[in-house]
Amino acid sequence: MDNRAIGVFDSGLGGLTAVRRLHEIMPRENIIYFGDTGRVPYGTRGRDTIIKYTRQDIRFLLQFDPKAIVVACNTASAAALETVQGEFGLPVFGTVAPSCEKARQVTRSGRIGVIGTAATVRSGVFERLLHRADPSLDVRAAACPLFVSLVENGRVHRGDIVIETVVREYLQPLRDAGVDTLILGCTHYPLLQDVISDFMGGGVTLVDSGAEAADAVRRAVDPAADGTGGTRYFVSDDPRSFDALASLFLSHEPAGPAELVEITDY
């Protein structure tokens, strides 16, 4: 049993989808969450910048002596995880490998769609991992660069003409290709689950990458015996905007307000 906290980070609010799942499946774990809201989005940036930000985010979390880190951001997982994984002397979990694993389990036709930020799709990492496991899979990836800003602005609901139009624009090729499984390869996207599912149709299984990362953590880490299950939230920009939207991503209200961090100090 290990009562140390689990450190989780994302460029913004999206990683809270992993926190939500961790709370559900490991209710005793203490969690330290960092959302790099001052520098979101990561998905429009180059690889070297994403690696630099990822190292800073992990160094910030390390001061809490976590037992594991969750890179609850597909962009950072795709661009930086392989590079930084061995640098810190503790397990670092990403979103990509567990999501690929899940997609392979649930697809019936072998036609899998992947959506993510521009940086994630450019990395080609989902196709690589899926094809390494099964070269016969037909994998189609599509970048959805506007989704993160729309989600961070709360434009996630059915009937919102803006999000419904953008969803149609980005996902039409994947629907036409007949994918039966769609990896939500960005931890912000589960907030769009209803709108995406309405458009793709009920026969398409959505894979939630934040939840898959959380499940991978549960399979691998020594659980807490008597942790309080509390979460502390840190952000790199005005905490009030984070506090206002955080409950959209969580199944409950955050216990306390987020605290401000000068992330460039790390």
User: Which residues are identified as catalytic?
Assistant: 73, 186
User: Shortest Cβ distance from residue 136 to ligand DGL (Å)?
Assistant: 27
Count CB neighbours of 188 within 10 A. 33
Binding residues for ligand DGL, rule CB under 6 A, total: 18
If one asks whether residue 43 binds ligand DGL (CB under 6 A), the answer comes out as yes
Instruction: Give whichever of 35 and 227 is closer to ligand DGL, judged by the CB atom.
Output: 35
If one asks whether residue 75 binds ligand DGL (CB under 6 A), the answer comes out as yes
Q: Which stretch binds ligand DGL (CB under 6 A): 62-70, 82-90, 112-120, 125-133?
A: 112-120
Instruction: Give whichever of 152 and 180 is closer to ligand DGL, judged by the CB atom.
Output: 152
Helices (H) then strands (E): counts for the chain: 11, 10
Alpha-carbon distance of 233 to 229, in angstroms, equals 13
Coil, strand or helix at 45: coil
Q: Which residues are CB-contacts of 70 (< 8 A; sequence separation ≥ 6)?
A: 6, 7, 8, 9, 15, 18, 22, 92, 93, 213, 214, 217
Instruction: Give whichever of 7 and 43 is closer to ligand DGL, judged by the CB atom.
Output: 43
Coil, strand or helix at 79: helix
Beta strand 6-10 with 68-71 is parallel
If one asks whether residue 14 binds ligand DGL (CB under 6 A), the answer comes out as yes
Q: Which stretch binds ligand DGL (CB under 6 A): 40-48, 51-59, 153-161, 243-251?
A: 40-48
If one asks whether residue 22 binds ligand DGL (CB under 6 A), the answer comes out as no
If one asks whether residue 148 binds ligand DGL (CB under 6 A), the answer comes out as yes
Sign of CA dihedral 54, 49, 99, 198: positive
If one asks whether residue 187 binds ligand DGL (CB under 6 A), the answer comes out as yes
Site for ligand DGL in 199-258 (CB under 6 A): none
For 138-181, give the DSSP string. EEEEEE-TTHHHHHHTT--STT-HHHHHHHHHHHHHHHHHT-SE
User: Shortest Cβ distance from residue 56 to ligand DGL (Å)?
Assistant: 14
Binding site for ligand DGL (CB under 6 A): 10-12, 14, 40-43, 73-75, 116-117, 120, 148, 186-188
